[in-house]
């Protein structure tokens, strides 16, 4: 039990260090410019590729060699793998599931999905693909979900936090799966939400600050979910 508690504390400190690293190395002015310039539906994917993944690699380099960091780092972005040589593969799940990561799907929605009576009749299952993940030789096996909060007030921010933390919970609820020829192992001990508040009003930051402290503690103590909410300095 002592070893398990020590490992958890080490993992928490490791993720806290990553949070501090992001705060020091992600340029808020560049993020604001990115939000202003970027249109379309892939803005979050582009944000992760442009800002988060390079910074993640730099953090891994503090404890691993460059080669080890690449092996440990899985990411959804193909550009990070083929152009920047930061990652060794994708964290896409090896198995498909009858449930999705979307919070609030009704029983009717699942009926339509499972029995093929909805819009997407040919695909009754879903496959998880988080934004990035850490595997050995990193000491901590962590799956990450990243969100860019561009606009919205307090109600929108609270809803975004609930949806995003639930997605982390969904990832950790999936059983572990050994690696195959086409997929890395699905074998994570922790999940981490990385949410960047680019709203200008700091709604996401303030929403997380005023959440019931019991909820914040339980995310880590009961669910192994580390939450980091980043923003430009006020």
103-121 per-position pLDDT tens digit: 878 888 888 888 988 776 6
Helix H segments across the chain? 2-25, 28-37, 43-47, 53-60, 66-72, 78-82, 107-115, 154-172, 203-209, 213-221
Helix (H) or strand (E) holding 37: helix 28-37
d(CA 13, CA 194): 15
Q: Do 56 and 169 fall into the same domain?
A: yes
* Pair (66, 111) in one structural domain: no
φ, ψ dihedrals at 2, nearest 5°: -60, -45
> Does residue 112 sit in the same domain as residue 136?
no
Report how far residue 174's alpha carbon sits from residue 165's, in angstroms, rounded to the nearest whole number: 15
Give how many domains the chain has, as a whole number: 2
Which residue range forms the structural domain that includes residue 123? 102-127
* Locus of tokens 């595997």: 135
Looking at the fold, whether 150 and 110 belong to one and the same domain comes out as no
Shared domain check, 132 and 109: no
* This prediction's pTM: 0.91
Please report the pLDDT score of residue 234 as a whole number. 59
Q: Are residues 137 and 174 in the same domain?
A: yes
pLDDT in tens, 204-229: 999 999 999 999 999 999 999 999 99
Same domain, 53 and 166: yes
- Looking at the structure, tell me whether residues 111 and 65 fall in a common domain: no
CA atoms within 13 A on the CB side of 162: 10
- In a shared domain, residues 68 and 167: yes
User: Do 222 and 115 sit in the same domain of this protein?
Assistant: no
pLDDT in tens, 115-149: 988 776 678 888 888 999 999 999 999 999 999 99
Residues 84 and 14 in one domain: yes
Q: Is 69 helix (H, G, I), strand (E, B) or coil?
A: helix
Rounded CA-CA distance 217/211 in Å is: 10
146 shares a domain with 38: yes
């Amino acid at each position: 039990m002592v070893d398990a508690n020590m490992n958890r504390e080490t993992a928490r400190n490791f993720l806290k260090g990553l949070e501090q690293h992001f705060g020091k190395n992600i340029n808020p002015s560049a993020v604001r410019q990115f939000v202003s310039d970027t249109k379309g539906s892939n803005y979050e994917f582009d944000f992760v590729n442009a800002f988060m993944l390079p910074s993640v690699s730099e953090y891994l380099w503090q404890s691993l060699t460059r080669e080890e960091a690449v092996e440990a780092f899985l990411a959804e972005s193909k550009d990070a793998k083929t152009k920047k040589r930061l990652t060794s593969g994708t964290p896409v799940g090896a198995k498909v599931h009858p449930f999705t990561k979307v919070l609030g799907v009704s029983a009717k929605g699942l009926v339509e999905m499972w029995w093929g009576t909805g819009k997407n009749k040919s695909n009754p299952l879903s496959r998880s693909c988080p934004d990035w993940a850490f595997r050995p030789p990193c000491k901590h096996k962590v799956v990450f979900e990243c969100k860019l909060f561009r606009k919205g007030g307090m109600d929108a921010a609270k809803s975004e936090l609930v949806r995003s933390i639930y997605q982390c919970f969904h990832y950790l609820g999936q059983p572990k799966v050994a690696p195959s020829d086409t997929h890395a192992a699905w074998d994570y001990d922790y999940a981490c939400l990385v949410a960047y508040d680019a709203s200008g009003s700091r709604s996401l930051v303030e929403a997380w600050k005023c959440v019931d402290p019991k909820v914040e503690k339980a995310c880590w103590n009961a669910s192994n979910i580390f939450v980091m909410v980043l923003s430009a300095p006020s």
